[in-house]
Amino acid sequence: MLIRSALALMTTVAIRMHIKEMLDEAERTKAPSFSFEYFPPKTAQGVQNLYDRMERMYDFGPKFIDITWGAGGRIAELTTEMVVQAQTYFGLETCMHLTCTDMGLEKVNDALQKAYKAGCTNILALRGDPPRDQDTWIVTDEGFRYARDLVKHIKETYGNHFDIGVAGYPEGCDDNKDEDLLLDHLKEKVDMGASFIVTQMFYDVDNFLRWVRRVRERGIVIPIIPGIMPIATYASFLRRAKHMNCKVPEEWLAALDPVKNDDGAVREMGRKLVTEMCRKMLDAGLRHLHFYTMNLAQATRMILEELNWMPCADRPRKQPLPWKQSLGLGRRDEDVRPIFWRNRNKSYVTRTQDWDEFPNGRWGDSRSPAFGELDAYGIGLTGSNEANQKKWGAPVCVGDIAGIFVRYLKKELETLPWSEAPLTSEADSIKDDLVNLNQRGLLTINSQPAVNGVKSSHPVHGWGPPNGYVYQKSYLELLVAPELVGEIIKRVHDHPDLTYYAVTRKGDLRSNAPTDGPNAVTWGVFPGKEIVQPTIVESVSFMAWRDEAFRLGVDWAQCFDADSPSRVLLQNMMDTWYLVNIVNNDFHQPKTIFNLFGGFAVKDINKSAIAGAATKTNGFHPKEADAPEAVNGTPTAAVA
Amino acid sequence: MLIRSALALMTTVAIRMHIKEMLDEAERTKAPSFSFEYFPPKTAQGVQNLYDRMERMYDFGPKFIDITWGAGGRIAELTTEMVVQAQTYFGLETCMHLTCTDMGLEKVNDALQKAYKAGCTNILALRGDPPRDQDTWIVTDEGFRYARDLVKHIKETYGNHFDIGVAGYPEGCDDNKDEDLLLDHLKEKVDMGASFIVTQMFYDVDNFLRWVRRVRERGIVIPIIPGIMPIATYASFLRRAKHMNCKVPEEWLAALDPVKNDDGAVREMGRKLVTEMCRKMLDAGLRHLHFYTMNLAQATRMILEELNWMPCADRPRKQPLPWKQSLGLGRRDEDVRPIFWRNRNKSYVTRTQDWDEFPNGRWGDSRSPAFGELDAYGIGLTGSNEANQKKWGAPVCVGDIAGIFVRYLKKELETLPWSEAPLTSEADSIKDDLVNLNQRGLLTINSQPAVNGVKSSHPVHGWGPPNGYVYQKSYLELLVAPELVGEIIKRVHDHPDLTYYAVTRKGDLRSNAPTDGPNAVTWGVFPGKEIVQPTIVESVSFMAWRDEAFRLGVDWAQCFDADSPSRVLLQNMMDTWYLVNIVNNDFHQPKTIFNLFGGFAVKDINKSAIAGAATKTNGFHPKEADAPEAVNGTPTAAVA
């Protein structure tokens, strides 16, 4: 039973998350958890591939990830860059490795400062590998001799900001096999302030458990995280075991040797062996496993599946909010965002990175510092002109563009200029309505269906803590031809439940919103909490989004030669069309927002933007573009 | 169509409400509205009666009220005190009358400052009646000669804080019958900054409408509010008309004279005549009527009923929030309160009157300044010992107290020590459950039923703007005998949807709330707005309420002689019982919170608190006290 004094009940704000806390929580709830380790790749393409993979592996549900320290120059820069990426954009709680003996004070301080600024609050403090061409350590000037010195330095410099982990060596260290001496070193590191231990890889579980007992006998009580190396190929398995001086049990060799030339069979056997090893540790009371992914997804994934730890339809990855949180510096409490950047998460995080304060609980004055400029890296349209032409073709009429939007909705295209990721299953319930709108030239760049109180555990719409209910108002954001906008606005005005904003690239804004304040379009009701309202529609941020939305269209236009029909078409649309968002405030009515558009269609949808140019003859056409078609009872004549 | 620039969309905060704005709004929406005028009564009892009446007449739905200026000493004090009362506790938008010629600068400034501090933002600036024994004005030193001087002074001193009204004389003034000269004066007052006109009483509508045209011809465009005197008795009707030099149309005299000795018939005829007069003005385009109530409710009420303007079940008085807002200084944006003071509105307003900032949108740090002390006026139990004994009798056992609570629930008692007003119809749906609990000695001092999204226009549960949905979690607050509290808490812990706080008078607090933050127990979803969550449960305010709740019980105990059975019983309960609140977070389940108590009852519910004293023989017993009875299948044995 919980008994607290009134004073102890004062609200505390979560400004950081320490790995120690997560491990304590796992211990309390007996819920097993796991983490992934990545290293900085050697090439730019490797980095991009790894980022994609890290983002996908976010969905596996690791409690945190490690980024190893890339000793020396550019590769060290890459470690801190990867920490920023993981914390800020992927919302992955990250532990940065840091070696000291090969660094010197200035470089260590620089790395720590970069980690701090990235919002990182966990460091794995390591001594560092000896340079290959030396047998003994040469301590750099003003540098560190042992990992314990680094632990001490971090504590002295940053107090309790960083949670500090240290390495454990169940099978001895590269240059030191004396277990007692190594345990002395471990004890010293703990005494200096380390609060968790990550072990080197091993395959001999019995020895590991023996070692854990010896650690405990030394009076070391902090959590121990076993490091586990999944098996990808037989060759890599042997190479790594040898490199790390890691003992391979006889029965492992006996099981793997017969299939060593069949990579698939090796992975299968590896899955079985490593899973067994994991189960044995879990049975012995270990709660958290750390996987050396070697920057690959599959081998780790197979083990998680075998342990039945992968999220699935019945047990989806639990998200605290309907959008992916950033763990960048000062952002942990952020829990309200405008809906406009729903499909451009990175751009939103970038454009707000200079804010001193993030909305928490309500969308208040924290948005008053301006949104960042459009020319910051990663906000404009990505991809080369060539690649984008290949992806989306060369549209010459509104009908061509409508076709591209329809292909995206049908998941035949992965991205649109306004959507950086494929359509999610959330749109399934309104997909037919969206396709219908786009076929008529009403180009939908963002939407969400109405949800009237489903359980927070709902596989598609659910988010937040258990035993809650979540809600959404239906939302639609479209690019609208100028000849249609007047009648659409008139119809919205005639409907008491609809609110809208419409704006041109130049900034002429129309709205029927009752106040200048925000309209909550997603919210959740949870036990013992205030109502959480993580997504809103409001005017100031819409004006900032307008700049970006039209800019993306202009960027797309500029993928084509000047005076080409595609360039003229897109540029003309950006100059004259409206960006319109509509909210149906009655979240009991899922269809109202679509019924609004009955009878609308863009005039001359297949007419080229260049007068006189024969329709559908100029330029490359996207191969599978759906030709817009007359929809049941929907005349294609425009409503004036 | 609303077209605004982005800058104009910045949020503005409503720090005041001006009568001019209300009148403009009425003009825009063509919605008729009305206001009431009161004057300071001569006796203390008269003041108390008037306060009760003003609070009841709040429910008629006046847009604002006027308090006339009580020229001279104590009676002027009373005007400002009434303004405080109306603004702060009744949430009535108030216009304070202020006369100048009989005041002097210092007194005027003092009155304005008091009005300002009360949150009042509207002043009716008047010259003041000539003293009865003088025919001409004697201007006080440094004083004012005309109302226009006062208007000018208020503008110069307070800028636009106060909206200023002035008097209009359709039938001439007491000491001046020259209409042209009076219109000159009116024009001067308007030129000085007045923004609305309230007329003296009249019965000749045709003359009034003629006068309005003359006012407009003078280029005066501000709204004109006709002042209407309902008819209570024939004598008072004639006396007032004579006193105000007000012309009575022949047909009125002809209609009233035959029934002049029958007060009921006079009121009936008066209702007909005054309503006709009102309709004529509404037909002529007037939107707002001001009633001289003469501090009486009935005559005005009859006219409002005749005009079909009274709130009723079909058309309830629109409340912006589920509790009555205070319009005290700085409080206008307050829109979150703890549920604990639900039945003690005045006490909450008093205890928080020193706060610099009030919760708006969420219950944040604004609660950190401590709640005011318990010894402030009006927080403890009101009424004399004698009166309270008469009301609630002299309970000698828990069963007696249970009986008092049951009588309150059955509306046979108007108040309880913990409830300053009769039970509202909101409790109807859970009344039987509450009665059942109290019969078992589980004393409920506050509660609300679960509401799962009814329209905001709902006659019982609705509040806020139109086209919204409102919600409530079921809530129960009880005084619980110490032998029951352990098992109740155990059952709450076993239920995933329930959260609770339990506390003794000394402050031992238990809770299973997941965070120290607030739990929203009432909220509403409205078009184009953030979620409004006006009522919450949380720990800090619960600890403040605990002091008050136990103090009320101790106050009640002290209504009885030392060592009397009632004193011992109540004091003992306050010393040993728990104050428990429980929220069912699943607002889809209205009954769960009651099912929790299956099988519970206070042991020896009819045993006197004084050992050996014969039960039910000592002391006065409340006449109609329901004896606790065994309830369907509910054993009365206590659960240990």
3-class DSSP string for B464-522: CCCCCEEEECEEEEEEECHHHHHHHHHHHHCCCCEEEEEECCCCCEEECCCCCCCEEEE
Asked, for residue A342, whether it belongs to a domain, the answer is yes
Residue for token digits 């809530």? B475
Which of B3, B4, B5, B9 to substitute to test the interface with A, most A CBs within 10 Å? B9
Tens digit of each residue's pLDDT (9 = 90 or more) over B295-330: 999 999 999 999 999 987 766 777 889 999 999 888
CATH of the domain at A61: 3.20.20.220
Q: What is the pLDDT of residues B377-412, one digit of tens each?
A: 778 898 999 999 999 999 999 999 999 999 999 999
Res A410: pLDDT: 96
pTM: 0.86
pLDDT tens digits, one per residue of B479-498? 999 999 999 999 999 999 99
What integer pLDDT is reported at residue B547 of this predicted model?
94
**Which residue, chain included where needed, has tokens 């097993």?**
A32
B514 vs A497: CB contact, 8 Å cut-off? no
CA dihedral B427, B432, B436, B441 (to 10 degrees): 20
Tokens representing residue A411 in the block: 């998941």
Binary contact (B519, A507; C-beta < 8 A): no
Q: Which of A3, A5, A11 to mutate to test the interface with B (most CBs of B within 10 A)?
A: A11
Contact B496 A536 (CB under 8 A): no
pLDDT at B291 over 90: yes
CB contact under 8 A, A587 and B466: no
List the alpha helices (DSSP H) in A172-260.
Answer: 179-191, 205-217, 234-243, 250-256
- Name which of A1, A489, A585 is nearest B528 (Cβ-Cβ): A585
- Mutation pick from A5, A9, A455 vs chain B, by most beta carbons of B within 10 Å, is A9
C-alpha separations of B233 from B201, B238, B301 in Å: 16, 9, 15
* Residue A354: predicted pLDDT: 83
User: Do B490 and B482 touch, CB atoms closer than 8 A?
Assistant: no
Chain centroid offset of residue B52 CA: 9
Which of B146, B137, B93 is closest to B119 using CA atoms? B93
Torsion region of A113: left, alpha or beta (phi above 0 gives left; psi -120 to 50 gives alpha):
alpha
Active-site annotation holds for B37: yes
pLDDT of residue B274: 97
Rounded to a whole number of angstroms, the distance from the CA of A601 to the nearest CA of chain B is 23
Contacts of B192 (CB under 8 A, 6+ apart): B148, B151, B152, B155
Quote the number of domains for chain A. Answer: 2
Does residue A111 sit in the same domain as residue A193?
A: yes
Contact across the interface for A528 and B513, Cβ inside 8 Å? yes
- Of the listed ranges A184-188, A534-538, B125-129, B166-170, the least confidently predicted one is B125-129
| Residue found by looking up tokens 């969550």 in the block | B533
Say yes or no for a CB contact (<8 Å) between B530 and A520.
yes
Q: Are residues B346 and B452 in the same domain?
A: yes
Residue B312 within a domain = no
- List of residues 6+ apart from B61 with CB closer than 8 A: B309, B310, B311, B317, B318
Q: What is the pLDDT of residue A627?
A: 40
Per the rule left: phi > 0, alpha: psi between -120 and 50, beta: everything else, A164 is beta
pLDDT at res. B144: 84
Edge-to-edge strand list for the sheet holding B532-537: B337-338, B532-537, B519-525, B469-472, B451-455
Average pLDDT, chain B: 88
Do residues B90 and B170 share a domain?
yes
Q: Dump pLDDT digits (tens) for B410-466.
A: 999 999 999 998 998 899 999 999 999 999 999 999 999 999 999 999 989 999 999
Q: Is residue A314 part of a domain?
A: no
CA distances from A59 to A91, A310, A325, A419, B476 (A): 11, 9, 13, 19, 41
Asked whether the beta carbons of residue A466 and residue B496 sit closer than 8 angstroms, the reply is yes
More confident residue, B225 or A324: B225
Q: Three-state SS for B417?
A: coil
Pick left, alpha or beta for residue A498 (phi over 0 → left; psi -120 to 50 → alpha; otherwise beta): beta
Residue B460 φ/ψ, nearest 5 degrees: -100, -50
- Of residues A21, A25, A27, A37, which has the active-site annotation? A37
- Per-residue pLDDT at A368: 55
Beta carbons within 10 angstroms of residue A258's beta carbon: 10
* CB pair distance less than 8 Å for A531 and B526: no
The minimum CA-CA distance between B476 and chain A, rounded to whole Å, is 14
* CB-based contacts of A398, cutoff 8 Å, min separation 6: A441, A481, A569, A573, A602, A604, A605, A606
Contact state of B531 with A527 under an 8 Å Cβ cutoff: no
Mutate to test the interface with B, among A530, A536, A542, A593 (most CBs of B within 10 A): A530
For B516-568, write each residue's pLDDT tens digit: 789 999 999 999 999 999 999 999 899 999 999 999 999 999 999 999 999 99
Give the residue ranges of DSSP H helices in A170-314.
179-191, 205-217, 234-243, 250-256, 263-283, 298-306
Query: Which residues are registered as beta bridge partners of B525?
Result: B469
In-domain check, residue A3: no
Distance CA A132, CA A72 (A): 14
Residue B612 has pLDDT above 80, yes or no: no
Give the whole-angstrom CA distance, residue A580 versus residue A577: 9
Question: Alpha-carbon distance B567 to B576, whole Å?
Answer: 14
Are the C-beta atoms of residues A551 and A374 closer than 8 Å to each other?
Answer: yes
Q: B471: which chain A residues are within 8 Å (Cβ-Cβ)? A: 525
Tell me the chain A residues in contact with residue B516 when contact means C-beta distances shorter than 8 Å. 9-12
Cβ–Cβ < 8 Å for B371, B352: yes
CB distance A155 to A164 below 8 Å: yes
Q: Which residues of A touch B363 (CB under 8 A)?
A: 530
CA distance B348 to chain A (A): 20
The shortest CB-CB distance from A528 to any of B3, B467, B514 is to B514
For residues A267 and A370, membership in a common domain is answered with no
Same domain membership, residue B345 and residue B296: no
φ/ψ of residue B492, rounded to 5:
-60, -45
Residue A225: both structure tokens together: 């995280």
Both structure tokens of A106: 């200035």
Interchain CB distance below 8 Å, A363 and B530: yes
Among B285, B306, B327, which residue terminates a domain?
Answer: B306
Q: How many residues does chain A have?
A: 640
Express as a percent the part of chain B with pLDDT over 70: 88
- Inside any domain, residue A1: no
The answer to whether B246 touches B279, Cβ cutoff 8 Å, is: no
Q: B533–A531: do the CB atoms touch at under 8 Å?
A: yes
Name the residue among A509, A511, A520 with its Cβ closest to that of B531. Answer: A520
User: Are A288 and A398 in a shared domain?
Assistant: no
Tell me: do B277 and B358 sit in the same domain.
no
State how far the Cα of A563 lies from the Cα of B628, in Å rounded to an integer.
91
Distance from CA of A368 to the nearest CA of B (A): 10
Q: Which candidate in B469, B471, B525, B542 is best for mutational testing of the A interface (most A CBs within 10 A)? A: B525
Does B181 fall in a domain? Answer: yes
Closest CB from B10, B516, B525 relative to A11: B516
Tell whether the model's pLDDT for residue B7 goes beyond 70. no
**A224, A373: one domain:** no
Catalytic residue, from B37, B171, B477, B538: name it: B37
Q: How far is A461 from chain B (nearest CA, A)?
A: 18
Q: In this structure, are B253 and B347 located in the same domain?
A: no
Contact residues, chain A, for B512 at CB < 8 Å: 2
Closest CB from B511, B520, B583 relative to A2? B511
Question: What number of other Cβ atoms are within 10 A of residue B421's Cβ?
Answer: 12
Contacts of A9 in chain B (CB under 8 A): 509, 511, 516, 539-540
Give the DSSP H/E element, type plus range, for residue A471: strand A469-472
Domain holding B468, by residue range, is 337-635
Residue in A2, A465, A467 closest to B586 by CB: A467
Cα(B125)–Cα(B150) distance, integer angstroms: 6
pLDDT for the residue B136: 54
Contact A528 B515 (CB under 8 A): yes
**Together in a domain, B251 and B302:** yes
Instruction: Report how far residue B402's alpha carbon sits from residue B299's, in angstroms, rounded to the nearest whole number.
Output: 41
C-beta separation of A108 from A150 below 8 A: yes
Separation between Cα atoms, residue A552 and residue A579, nearest integer Å? 12
Question: What pLDDT, on a 0 to 100 scale, did the predictor assign at position B632?
Answer: 39
Burial environment of residue B614 by CB neighbours within 10 A (0 to 12, 13 to 18, 19 or more): exposed
CB contacts of B508 in chain A (<8 Å) are 3
Residue A367: the pLDDT is 58
Q: Of A306, A325, A356, which residue sits at a domain end?
A: A306
B209 by Cβ neighbours in 10 Å (0-12 / 13-18 / 19+) ranks as middle
Residue of B nearest to A455 (CA): B586
The reply to whether residue B529 touches residue A515, judged by beta carbons under 8 angstroms, is yes
Verify that A354 and A464 share a domain, yes or no.
yes
Closest by Cβ to A496, choosing from B10, B467, B510: B467
Question: Among residues of chain B, what percentage have pLDDT more than 90?
Answer: 71
Q: Is residue A13 part of a domain?
A: no
In the A/B pair of chains, how many CB contacts fall below 8 A?
A: 158
In a domain, A8, yes or no: no
Q: What residue in A sits closest to B471 (Cα-Cα)? A: A525
Q: Is A137 in contact with A145 (CB distance < 8 Å)?
A: yes
Check CB contact under 8 Å for B2 and A510: yes
CB neighbourhood size of A13 (10 A): 7
Distances in whole angstroms, Cα of residue A550 to Cα of each of A437, A572, B26: 20, 11, 41
Contact between A20 and A64 (Cβ < 8 Å): no
**Domain stops at, among A284, A306, A328:** A306
* Blockwise average pLDDT, block size 10, chain A, 640 residues: 32 64 91 95 90 92 94 80 94 94 87 95 88 53 82 96 96 83 95 97 96 97 97 92 90 94 94 97 96 95 94 76 90 92 92 86 67 80 94 96 97 95 92 97 97 94 94 98 95 95 95 90 96 94 94 97 96 97 97 93 82 44 40 38
Residues of B with CB below 8 A from A546's CB? none
Please indicate, yes or no, whether residues B375 and B514 belong to a single structural domain of this protein.
Answer: yes
The angle formed by the CA atoms of residues B618, B620 and B625, to the nearest 5 degrees, is 110
